[in-house]
Structure 1
Amino acid sequence: MYKIFVYGTLKSEYLQNKLLGHTLESYDAKLEGYSINTGEKYFNVIPNDGGCVKGKVLLVNEKDILYIDQWESVPMYIKDKVKVHSKYGYEDVYIYIKKDKEDKIKLQDDVLNMSNNENLEATIDEFAGTRDTEFPVCDIYLNYYIDLSAGALSDSKKVKDVFTEQVRDKEASFIGYEDLYYENGGQQVSLYYTEDNEKSTLTVIIPVSACNPVRLCEKAFCGKLEIEGGDFADYIYSKYNIKVLKKPKVIIYSSGEIDKSKRVEVLSVAESDVKSNEIIEAADIDISRSDDVKVYAFNNVRIYIPKSFAPCYMERLKSLLSF
């Protein structure tokens, strides 16, 4: 069981029911030394001497915390640990805090509303209606090789963040967030640029993905992903001066077991010219040689099913970087 201090939309029982199928047990608590920034559409807490945020501690199980991560757009918001004061005294709990700098600042302590979104319930309904529930929650990585002769990311745009600091054996930079669209839905993604010797890669990171891995891969391999209504590759080149090469290599890192029929479905995406028995065999063979994770692979797709899927994305990222 995990404890999360909440101060905005997660206090909503309507959201909890839509997101989890039930409401969560909770109790009142205070976070001292912080205030709520109400200057943006969704609230965030910011350190502030003398501030004191009134909120609630939610009791959350391992499955529910991943669905909450989906709603909180991890890694735009990341989980950190803080000390709050409740009827149980001072206790350590998790909190969602925006990873990047706020655009507008308006600090308050006592806030009755949960966000500045006037259509919050409609937003919740739309999110709950479009997210995938067919597969376990997955982290998905699309790795595109870059044509360096056509341009590369300038040094002025190479930014370090809490994730790139975990990468030790290559140069990694955070580029920014984009809304990636596939089929009828879309999801905010993070873009990272890595350099390893003479190779460069654009990585599209979708932690706790709300999209269907098969549908996403279909669009990625057919070159039909979109950003702002235009072709993904064209958009990346026009905005970041990065020319990506054809199909990505895909890593799907699953929070739970994926049965064989589903593994076949994932591995066979865009491989219609390959004999089906080869894919079925690949979906049945764990190539990891490890007790900690199962790995199934075919051509440009790898499925990782770890024995333990850490509830904190930073811990999962460290595991992936060790592969």
Structure 2
Amino acid sequence: MLIYQKTKSGIWEIFMYKIFVYGTLKSEYLQNKLLGHTLESYDAKLEGYSINTGEKYFNVIQNDGGCVKGKVLLVSEKDILYIDQWESVPMYIKDKVRVHSKYGYEDVYIYIKKDKEDKIKLQDDVLNMSNNENLEATIDEFAGARDTEFPVCDIYLNYHIDLSAGILSDSKKSHDVITEKVKDKEASFIGYEDLHYENGGQQVSLYYTEENEKATLTVMIPVSACNPVRICEKAFGGKLKTEGKDFADYIYSKYNIKVLKKPKVIIYSSGEIDKSKRVEILSAGESNEIIEAADTDISRSEDVKVYAFNNVRIYIPKSFEPLYMDRLKSLLSL
């Protein structure tokens, strides 16, 4: 949906999305570092919610009688994907809420934590933007480490599991908003782990699926700030680490499931990736044998292009949905 809004300079501009923010995204310092510019905004209130300030980063929680004071940001299609990186989607999920502003009541997006809060301390109006005392340093570190060479991507590592060597116990399986989207197989959320692959790595989500006597461990990397070439090189070179151990060995020691050393890598891109970059990703720096594969769309569909070689598959959809859950649903149906 196109949104026409008059800016502070009196010029009418086109924005794609509106996001209600109440924490770090109010920071113009963050906006400049993340997007290269500040965003147009205006004051708004979210009724029926309060801000939980009990954890390092704030989150909103439904609360009868609560009323969160925040701002509505006007963002472009490109901006919203960079913001997804900062919010570590799907650690936080975009949803729609109705806010009240000078324009009346309007539907906007909001980032809400996917999991339950560890600590609760509710407030409606806060001056600070988080409990991170070194927020600007954190922003600088994030902006300096993220990759901007490739379009924003969703990246998944799928490890096949040797069921004869061990199986995940039921006590370690749980469900969340993502497993609810998986309809044709048994899917469980296992938990979070810190995966080290480049510039310190990132916290990732682990999912376990079973189908037709086969099982898969899916490592879901938050909307990727890493270089997809580097992640492939690390994954296939056995250089992914968790707590200083080889990732596959760590998974076996903690969860009693044995995964194959090399995963299948799925890259779901927000924009076109030129042929030379596709060659880099598909070969992961190993050879030039995949030039033909990098130039061959195997999708047979007008809605998405697919390039594949060995254990790497690149999806470039015509429409990269702003809601992560919609993208995931689309990906699961491919």
Taking a change above 3 Å as real, the CA distance of residues 183 and 207 of structure 1, as seen in their structure-2 partners, is: closer
2:77 counterpart of 1:57: no
**Matched ranges for 1:283-298 at <5 A:** 283-298=294-309
| Displacement after TM superposition at 1:245 (Å) | 0.9
Could you say what secondary structure the match of 1:188 adopts? strand
**How far is the alpha carbon of 1:137 from its aligned partner?**
0.5
Asked if 1:133 corresponds to 2:127, the answer is no
- Asked if the contact 1:75–1:207 (Cα under 8 Å) also holds between the matched residues in 2, the reply is yes
Give the alignment partner of residue 254 of structure 2, picking from 234, 239, 257: 239
Give me the whole-angstrom Cα distance separating, in 2, the residues matched to 1:177 and 1:61. Answer: 31
Aligned partner of residue 292 in structure 2, secondary structure: helix
Contact 1:151 1:242 in 2 (8 A): yes
| 1:52-101 deviation digits (Å, cap 9, x = unpaired) | 10000000111110110110011111011111000001110111000101
Within 2, Cα distance between the matches of 1:93 and 1:13? 20
Contact 2:198–2:226 (Cα < 8 Å) also in 1: no
Instruction: For residue 288 of structure 2, give the secondary structure of its aligned residue in structure 1.
Output: helix
Structure 1 range deviating more: 240-249 or 18-27: 240-249
Tell whether the 8 Å contact from 1:180 to 1:187 is kept in structure 2 after alignment.
Answer: yes
Deviates more, 1:289-298 or 1:239-248: 239-248
Corresponding position: 1:111 with 2:126:
yes
- Give the deviation of 1:177 after TM superposition: 1.5
Aligned equivalent of 1:8: 23
Equivalent of 1:316 in 311, 316, 327: 327
> 254-263 or 202-211, which moves further after superposition?
202-211
In 1, the alpha carbon distance for the partners of 2:174 and 2:159 equals 19
Q: Contact 1:54–1:110 at 8 Å: present in 2 too?
A: yes
CA deviation map 1:94-130 (0-9, x unaligned): 1100010100000011110000000000000000000
Distance 1:242 1:22 in 2: 46
Structure 2: how far apart are the matches of 1:39 and 1:295? Answer: 44
Answer whether contact 2:298 2:307 (CA < 8 A) is retained.
yes
Q: Secondary structure at the match of 1:146?
A: strand
Deviation at 1:151, TM superposition (A): 1.3
Q: 2 CA distance for matches of 1:191 and 1:261?
A: 31
Distance 1:246 1:153 in 2: 18
CA deviations over 1:154-192 (Å, ceiling 9, x no partner): 112211111111111110011111221113331221110
**Cα–Cα, structure 1 residues 173 and 270, in superposed 2: closer, same or farther, change >3 Å?**
farther
Contact 2:154 2:267 in 1 (8 A): yes
Cα offset, 1:277, TM superposition: 5.6
| 1:227 maps to 2:242 | yes
1:44 Cα deviation after fit: 0.4
- 8 A Cα contact 1:187 1:211, kept in partner: no
TM-score between the two structures when normalised by the length of structure 1: 0.97
Q: How far 1:241 moved relative to its partner? A: 1.6
1:21 maps to 36
Per-residue CA shift, 1:229-261, capped at 9, x if unaligned? Answer: 222112211222221112101111100000000
Residues 24-49 of structure 1: CA distance to partner in whole angstroms, max 9, x if unpaired?
Answer: 00000000111110000000001111
Conserved? CA contact 2:156–2:266, under 8 Å: yes
Q: Is the 8 A contact 2:91 2:222 kept in 1?
A: no
Q: Decide whether the 8 Å contact of 1:137 with 1:256 is kept in 2.
A: yes
Q: Deviations over 1:249-276 (max 9, x none)?
A: 11111000000000001111164xxxx5
Deviates more, 1:25-34 or 1:181-190: 181-190
Equivalent in the alignment of 1:122: 137
- Matching residue of 1:96: 111
Q: CA deviation at 1:12?
A: 0.2
Distance 2:211 2:317 in 1: 26
Asked whether the equivalents of residues 279 and 288 of structure 2 are also in contact (C-alpha less than 8 Å), the reply is no
Which residue is equivalent to 2:3? none
Identity of aligned residues (%): 91
Work out whether residues 51 and 58 of structure 2, in 8 Å CA contact, stay in contact via their aligned partners in 1.
Answer: yes
The answer as to whether partners of 2:208 and 2:218 remain within 8 angstroms in 1 is yes
CA displacement 1:122-158 (0-9 Å, x = unmatched): 0000000000101100111100011112211111221
SS in 2 for 1:277: coil
Segment of structure 1 superposing worse, 234-243 or 210-219: 234-243
Structure 1's unaligned 5+ residue stretches are none
Q: Aligned residue pairs: how many? A: 319
| Cα RMSD (Å) | 1.0
309-318 vs 222-231, which moves further? 222-231
CA shift at 1:4, angstroms?
A: 0.4
